[in-house]
Structure 1
Amino acid sequence: MKIKSLLFYVLIAFCFSFQLNSQILEPVKWESKVEKVSENEYKVIIQANIDKGWYIYSQHQQSEESFAPTTFFEFTNQENNYTLIGEFAEPSVAPIFDKIFQENVVKFKDTAVFEQLVAISNSELSQVDLIVEYQTCDDSKCIPGDYTFNISLDGSDITKEITEIDDRSKELSESLNLNVTGWDKFESQTIKKKSNFSIFLLGFLGGLIALLTPCVFPMIPLTVSFFTKSANDPKKGLFNSILYGFFIFLIYALLSIPFHVLDSLDPGILNNISTNVTLNIIFFIIFIVFAFSFFGYFELTLPQSWSAAMDSKANKIGGFIGVFFMALTLAIVSFSCTGPILGTLLGSSLTADGGVMQLTMGMSGFGLALALPFSLFAMFPKWLNSLPKSGGWLNTVKVVLGFIELALALKFLSNADLVEHWGLLKREVFIGLWILIGIGLVLYLFGKIKFPHDGPLQKLSKGRITTGILVIAFVIYLIPGLTNSAHANLKWLSGFPPPMFYSLYEKSSECPLDLNCNKDLSEGLAQAKAENKPILLDFTGWACVNCRKMEEQVWSTSDVYDMLSENYVIISLYVDDKKALPEVDQFQYLRSNGSVKEIETIGDKWATLQTINFENNSQPYYALLDHDMQLLNTTNAYEPDADAYYDWLKKGLENFKK
């Protein structure tokens, strides 16, 4: 299996599978004009008006290795019409340090004017067309964008050519606008974010686990001994050991930098990627591969040439840079153990309200845990004597991690199954497979089954017995999930198994907790009017982890459940539903920028409706409305506090009765 950077792609998928809470932003506004220079020469002038605190980037950065984006102009009607004279001129500014990309880059703020001379060869040409592709960033996020210019050579206004849509599409597009009112009556919601420090601790825990694998643990005494014994000056050896640990930490922290760009992509795109069936199946297969690698059936490593090249550079260069390449060599060599652990940990910890900073914190915690032993044992070399000897227990840790990878792989397959409604992994099937995996792990820990790298088991260690008992307890906890009883709601696992209504058992409704809900807006509104009840508009998703947590941990509490059941009409709109709309209901939606979005699936329709009316693409997202589409309270998102959520519902009901 040829792998270039499997860890990188695993982390991308995880970032996508836990959507971000983002508003729709457009920090750059573009203007254009043309000036006649001579009989057949014109100067095309493009101006970017940039919101305060935001930047766009130069067409050229100082280094080809730069992480920073560039602005790109492309003329689309140039052929046989005109030629470009020189390059697109841009403002001359000195490079400054960029917090996102951690390097000096050329970027523009407030206003940036770009100019291009063109020589016209077609006397009948009346306009010049071009596209600009760019990224705009502030100090925490970046947003990609593009803009099309149609510039008249005589200075007259040009109506941009847009794809024409038929009257039926116009009518259906207009129906998506609910004309929601009442925004001025309520303050904007302040969304509570998960503590970055807690993510750091989870990353640190993952790093400690990685230390106990055969790829890393034996390296501790070897590396410490190398630094302390190879240096003529003991103080220099100690310094190099500490520096080595620091570089390990730095490498893992730096791995999160590209995600500061990915973090700010259009949240609608993120949702499409995270629910993409093909992508979820690919990562299901990748995690199965990780699992069997941990079981010892084959070794999954990055190309040996990478580690050889890094090791060679470390030996040749020496000094600070040489120590850095030694740390990079460790990161590459240990990939087969650290990659799956890091990917699994970060994927589990990133939440819809977290953002990419949590990724950085998790990576930093992971790197710090890996780095500390190399520095601490160099400072106190006598501690090396207290380390347990390498042996079969390291392989046991690796196999246990293999079982965990196997269980987590099912989550990706479940995402694909939910979105496409295949019915392969109903909730009870999913939980049953987890029970079988747990039983397999228990049998392994008690020596009943073995894997290729396992030696003879003389006696059960305390670690095996303790871990086996914990796994048995977990399996027992899972068993009620196979039933159709009140105990089937496994709250500790909310968001991992499929929702309770996606079940082998016949349910009274296909709604969370058997509540009475609608999955069609018009039907739900008709029911609300008939029963004279307010509406809970629930923007949700089949593959939305936090949506399941809300339903199974918050909606299931007695007060909230009774409030929803007795006083509200729930309208649940699944923005990631890939089921095709009937052909008669498919249409083209004309965006404000002139581009067209094809509305072909149920998810396309509801995601567009959410964006139009609430300028938000995050899930879960809740709005309380009366029959005239007037807000009854501030909108709400992920609120794990059941009491706070109940108070929010109660206030909405009171406003409805007024």
Structure 2
Amino acid sequence: MKYKLLILSLFLFVLSPVLAQKLTPAKWSWTLEPAKPSVGQEAEIVFQVKIEKGWYLYSSDFDKDLGPVVTTVTIKNPVGFELVGGLKAINPHSKFDKEIWNGTYTYFTEKGEFRQKIKITAENWKIEGNYDSQTCSNESGLCVPIKGPFVIASSATASDVLTDEAKKKIPESVVTASASPVAPNESLWQFFWIAMGAGLLALLTPCVYPLIPMTVSFFTKQKGGKGLAFLYGSFIVLIYVFFGTLLAFFAGASFANFLSTHWIPNLLFFVIFIFFGISFLGAFEIVLPSGMVNSVDAKSDKGGIIGVFFMAFTLVLVSFSCTGPLAGSILIAASQGAFVKPIIGMLGFSLAFAIPFTLFAIFPGFMQKLPKSGNWMNEVKVVLGFLEIALAFKFLSVADQVYHWHLLDREIFLAIWIAIFSALTLYLFGKISLPHDGPAGKLSIPRTLFATAILAFVVYLIPGMFGAPLKGLSGWLPPMSSQDFKGNSGEVSIKPGSTGVVKYGDFLELPLGLTGFFDYQEAKAYAVQVGKPLFIDFTGHGCVNCRKMEEYVWSDPKVLKRLQEEYVIVALYCDDKTELPADQWYVSKVDGQEKKTLGDQNLDFQISRFNSNAQPHYVLLDPRKEGAPMVTPVAFDANVDHFVAFLDKGVRQYKLN
């Protein structure tokens, strides 16, 4: 029993940051209607809440002494406005509860809306406060508090926290404010399964696989062996997640942006992946100091809980030469994402790594069904080595695009990948051998099938050398614009319109033959001149989902026609490292740091104006006004019909304005 309680406590500790991130079943957003009220005019702050299926959120219009937490909105220090009446819930559900509360309460499911009227009393106004609510699950009864701050401000008020000198440096486009939640960059669950797959691969390596029967045999001979085995697996998970938590602590949002775009970390990651890959090919082994491993192993002889912990620690250290490159790759990928991503990555990796040790200790009969150790384990390492080397060039490609070095253009990148995967194909077919390979024998059916699949991938890559779009790899390859010879690219042919020489057009380019701009103010002025709405594309050189949207959605004739004929396009690269002239630098009101590069200023514009820092992010604006977006901005969505509807709605709204 004590083992079960300890295991439960350990897993709650490990999962607590994950649960804190995941259990947000209600997401708040807020706008002002109208967005730019004049002095003396009444307006409404509109709070909208999206609620996950199976959850409900308590409303604001029932007796707070009844028991449930009533939704409240607190306004702090009104500037340039006054409240008119109180917070109003729009059409909530009502229910009489006899068993618990003995009273009537109101609530929302799926979506909720609250409105607060105000009256503008000055040209410069600022609405700032906090919302506080509670959501509960219909199934488990679990209740989660949802609270946070909100700010909506006029252009002048948004910049009043800066010094006079700093204000002079801020472009007009940076000082307006609107509010909406920051969208996540990608699915954490998707990353969890990728990390778990890496953990399963680690089990098949020669450093780990032979340890399974040895370790399980130890626990089956011990008193309370099954409980100790559970504890052993839990400690393995705990050790890996501890390192993920350390990385999460240091990798904040700005640090993640630095890791994903700056040339120093990208070149470092390139070298590390090459180093890992060559190690897996058999050139050398990555091992920890023997003194460290022996010291930890000696402590595992103490027995009891402490002994089990050091046994788990010993396994992690001994298997490092095989697990280090895989776990390191997961951590490198995680370091470029959200705070919780490194924890999610290490949790998935360690669960896949630890579960077999635990299960085989409980059901030792299954051990007889395991394949015997052999040369196949080294073959797994070699395959992983080739994959590590191929992935290394993705990091070099990001630095190359962001800094415009032109060292790794598209055809060079493809040539390198074709060479790497061709070598892997020859290896799998037994035509070449490496240092730790055993005697050559007949090819197994799985190996033959896998070799054939890799060969098919090589054949798929070859047309890309001559300009084929290779949509299946969109986001991984350098852009088509970097290719010197394109042949028949398969792109839709569009005759570019004449917009003259555009700012930054000498080193930036729109995809699919589209014409447009790369500077917001220039694009806005042109849009007013030609009488069209503005399509803002917040993008990045290293943004995988941006390339997917361009390849799968923008290339559709319905979308392409609307972008070309109905909008003025401006692509704002948020990771471009081109340094601007000193007279264009300014201090950000978001983080107080000086913004010197084109990418830093574009990202600061996205955060300060639209409260979002994820790419892609698409915004439709009326260039004649400095208000909120005409329709709700969208992020990555590979559904063409959804994107067409988004563009059409923007055109209709522009005509109504």
- TM-score norm. by structure 2 comes to 0.67
The 5 Å alignment of 1:237-636 reads: 237-262=225-250, 265=252, 267-316=253-302, 318-345=303-330, 355-484=338-467, 488-505=468-485, 510-583=509-582, 585-589=583-587, 591=589, 597-628=593-624, 629-630=626-627, 631-636=629-634
The 1:449–1:626 alpha-carbon spacing in structure 2 relative to 1, beyond 3 Å, is: same
CA distance in 2, matches of 1:268, 1:202: 25
CA distance in 2, matches of 1:383, 1:328: 25
Report Cα offsets for 1:377-406 as digits up to 9, x if no partner: 222223222222211111111000000000
SS in structure 2 at match of 1:536: strand
The 1:356–1:587 alpha-carbon spacing in structure 2 relative to 1, beyond 3 Å, is: closer
Report Cα offsets for 1:420-439 as digits up to 9, x if no partner: 10111112221221111110
**Farther-moved stretch of structure 1 (323-332 vs 622-631):** 622-631
Pairwise CA distance, 1:645: 2.4
**Paired amino acid for 1:600:** K
The 1:567–1:302 alpha-carbon spacing in structure 2 relative to 1, beyond 3 Å, is: farther
Report Cα offsets for 1:148-199 as digits up to 9, x if no partner: xxxxxxxxxxxxx99884xxx754424343647xx69xxx469578554443
The 1:177–1:251 alpha-carbon spacing in structure 2 relative to 1, beyond 3 Å, is: closer
Report Cα offsets for 1:6-52 as digits up to 9, x if no partner: xxxxxxxxxxxxxxxx999xxxxxxxxxxxxxxxxxxxxxxxxxxxx
**Paired amino acid for 2:243:** L
CA distance in 1, matches of 2:390, 2:358: 35
Report Cα offsets for 1:287-308 as digits up to 9, x if no partner: 1000010011011123323322
CA distance in 2, matches of 1:140, 1:298: 52
SS in structure 1 at match of 2:546: helix
**Paired amino acid for 1:200:** F
Q: Which of residues 213, 216, 236 in structure 2 aligns to 1:224?
A: 216
**Paired amino acid for 1:404:** L
The 5 Å alignment of 1:104-119 reads: none
The 1:189–1:642 alpha-carbon spacing in structure 2 relative to 1, beyond 3 Å, is: farther
Contact 1:23 1:617 in 2 (8 A): no
CA distance in 1, matches of 2:147, 2:442: 54
**Paired amino acid for 2:236:** I
CA distance in 2, matches of 1:503, 1:525: 31
Contact 2:620 2:650 in 1 (8 A): yes
Q: What residue number does 2:198 align with? A: 206
SS in structure 2 at match of 1:201: helix
CA distance in 2, matches of 1:387, 1:262: 41
CA distance in 2, matches of 1:361, 1:227: 29
**Farther-moved stretch of structure 1 (461-470 vs 629-638):** 629-638
Report Cα offsets for 1:351-383 as digits up to 9, x if no partner: 86xx34444333222212212221222222232
Pairwise CA distance, 1:555: 1.9
CA distance in 1, matches of 2:605, 2:613: 10
CA distance in 2, matches of 1:331, 1:466: 33
**Paired amino acid for 1:465:** T
SS in structure 1 at match of 2:408: coil
Report Cα offsets for 1:402-422 as digits up to 9, x if no partner: 000000000110011011101
The 1:499–1:624 alpha-carbon spacing in structure 2 relative to 1, beyond 3 Å, is: same
Q: 5+ unaligned residues in a row in structure 1: which ranges? A: 1-21, 25-137, 143-160
Report Cα offsets for 1:557-596 as digits up to 9, x if no partner: 332222212211110111221112245x443436488x5x
**Paired amino acid for 2:424:** L
Q: Superposition RMSD on alpha carbons, in Å?
A: 3.3
Q: Which of residues 165, 170, 174 in structure 2 aligns to 1:173?
A: 170
The 1:273–1:192 alpha-carbon spacing in structure 2 relative to 1, beyond 3 Å, is: closer
CA distance in 2, matches of 1:347, 1:648: 35
SS in structure 2 at match of 1:245: helix
CA distance in 1, matches of 2:634, 2:237: 38
**Paired amino acid for 1:552:** E
CA distance in 2, matches of 1:190, 1:655: 24
Report Cα offsets for 1:467-494 as digits up to 9, x if no partner: 101101111222232222xxx2323222
SS in structure 1 at match of 2:577: coil
Report Cα offsets for 1:247-283 as digits up to 9, x if no partner: 22332233322244345x3x34432332110111111
Pairwise CA distance, 1:323: 0.7
SS in structure 2 at match of 1:256: helix
CA distance in 1, matches of 2:184, 2:580: 36
SS in structure 2 at match of 1:537: strand
Pairwise CA distance, 1:222: 1.1
Contact 1:519 1:573 in 2 (8 A): yes
**Paired amino acid for 1:341:** L
Contact 1:200 1:361 in 2 (8 A): yes
CA distance in 2, matches of 1:642, 1:258: 40
CA distance in 1, matches of 2:187, 2:262: 29
Contact 1:202 1:349 in 2 (8 A): no
Contact 2:539 2:572 in 1 (8 A): yes
The 5 Å alignment of 1:6-25 reads: none
Contact 1:540 1:572 in 2 (8 A): yes
**Paired amino acid for 2:535:** L
CA distance in 1, matches of 2:345, 2:477: 24
Report Cα offsets for 1:612-640 as digits up to 9, x if no partner: 32233332222111122442111222333
Q: 5+ unaligned residues in a row in structure 2: which ranges? A: 1-26, 30-143, 149-160, 490-495, 497-507
Report Cα offsets for 1:172-231 as digits up to 9, x if no partner: 424343647xx69xxx469578554443333322221111101110101111122223x2
Question: Share of identical aligned residues, percent?
Answer: 45
